[in-house]
Amino acid sequence: MPSDLELIGTCALFRGLPPAAIAELGAAAAVERFEKKVLLFHEGEPARALWMLRAGRLKLTKLGGNGQEIVVRFLIPGDPFGAIAILAGARYPVSAEAVEACEAFSWTPADVAALVERYPAIGMNSARVMSERMQELQERYRELATERVAQRVARAILRLARQTGRRVEGGVLLDLPLSRQDLAELTGTTLFTISRTLSEWEQQGLVELGRERVLIKSPHGLVTIAEDLPS
Amino acid sequence: MEARWSTPIDAGMTVEDTLLHVPQAAEIFLEHHMACVGCVMSCFDTLADAALIYGIPIETLLAEIAALHESEQGLETPS
């Protein structure tokens, strides 16, 4: 388990900063705790802080006009979010919800502005993070526009496995508290389609489903679907 | 450069680590029509897993990577 300062040092926004800067970030950070399902902030709210997840898991979501929630991404400890607070007067473009009990560091926009001024690398790092997330969204947009649902679901599961999964006896375990509804929102499909797709894969021995966990028994099988490879 | 070759390549090594230590192994994967290069699961699957999936004897795969390793070392060894 890394220390708080080690965790802050691994954050993509603060990579490459000298130890003195990391210590300064640690000293300026407030730690807040949130129970499962609590919203840390709402989409459209003034961005009152820049955040970094310290423990637990959370999801960033957007609400559609018809009230349907879209999951933008899941976050794990060390991930920054609400980085829009770096810009003065900005509003959060998404909501952040704890999918399990969470702890997060937060920095006020004034603290962030002072730090960016002293350590310009934070500005470059944030441009890099934005650019990576933009590329990921472009990729997902392409998937939505051009791929079959099964391909998108396979890709989403593999992406989450790559980010948060671990190798266990019998496969790769994804024990993110991930409901079928979450997967539907993440891949732009319906709960019914997700349930049908996962059940088919379970029958084929590709995955084993549990409560809020997916064991990928055949990573290659899912890759074959995701990449549309000859099986 | 020498340190790159210091890790022995064995059946239990992940595909990702193999490609990190012996980038030229990509050639061998491609020759066998294996989709390992750029695979999102390469950090989890071992060479043994990959060989099994594609029906290639693991000894063959390891021997081919080792041969490449040796020929590269030969090139890098000063005369």
Dump the DSSP string for B3-48: GGG-SPP-TTSBHHHHHHH-TTHHHHHHHTT-TTTT-TTTTT-BHH
For residue B3, list its beta bridge partners: none
A223 Cβ under 8 Å from any chain B Cβ: yes
ipTM greater than 0.85, yes or no? no
Cα-Cα-Cα-Cα dihedral sign, residues B64, B69, B70, B71: positive
How many A×B Cβ pairs under 8 Å?
28
C-alpha B26/C-alpha A202 separation (Å) is 32
Q: Which helix (H) or strand (E) holds A69?
A: strand A69-75
Helix crossing, A109-118 with A19-28: angle to 10°?
170
C-alpha B10/C-alpha A173 separation (Å) is 24
- How far away is chain B from the Cα of A146, in angstroms, using its nearest Cα? 20
* pTM recorded for the entire structure: 0.68
Averaged over successive runs of 10 residues, the pLDDT of chain A (231 residues) comes to: 86 92 93 95 93 94 82 91 86 94 94 89 91 89 84 92 88 85 87 92 93 89 88 69
Count, residues in chain A: 231
Q: What is the pLDDT of residue B7?
A: 62
Q: What is the pLDDT of residue B77?
A: 45
Chain A partners of B45 at a C-beta cutoff of 8 Å?
219-220
Query: Does residue B10 have a pLDDT over 50?
Result: yes
Residue A132 neighbours by CB under 8 Å, 6+ apart:
A12
Q: Would the CB atoms of B35 and A159 count as touching at under 8 Å?
A: no
Q: What is the pLDDT of residue B79?
A: 43
- How far away is chain A from the Cα of B31, in angstroms, using its nearest Cα? 16
Residue A200 neighbours by CB under 8 Å, 6+ apart:
none
pLDDT band at B4 (very low <50, low <70, confident <90, very high): very low
Between positions 5 and 64 of B, the ones with CB within 8 A of A are 35, 39-41, 43-45, 49, 53
Query: Does residue B13 have a pLDDT over 50?
Result: yes
Q: Which two tokens stand for residue A67?
A: 């009230």
Chain B partners of A229 at a C-beta cutoff of 8 Å?
35
C-alpha B14/C-alpha A84 separation (Å) is 37
Q: Which helix (H) or strand (E) holds A214?
A: strand A213-216
Q: What are phi and psi of A193, to 5 degrees?
A: -65, -40
C-alpha A153/C-alpha A147 separation (Å) is 10
CB B22 within 8 A of CB B9: yes
Query: Does residue B1 have a pLDDT over 50?
Result: no
Mean pLDDT of all residues in chain B? 83
* Cα-to-chain-centroid distance, residue A30: 21
Q: What is the pLDDT of residue A1?
A: 67
The residue whose two tokens read 């084993």 is A208
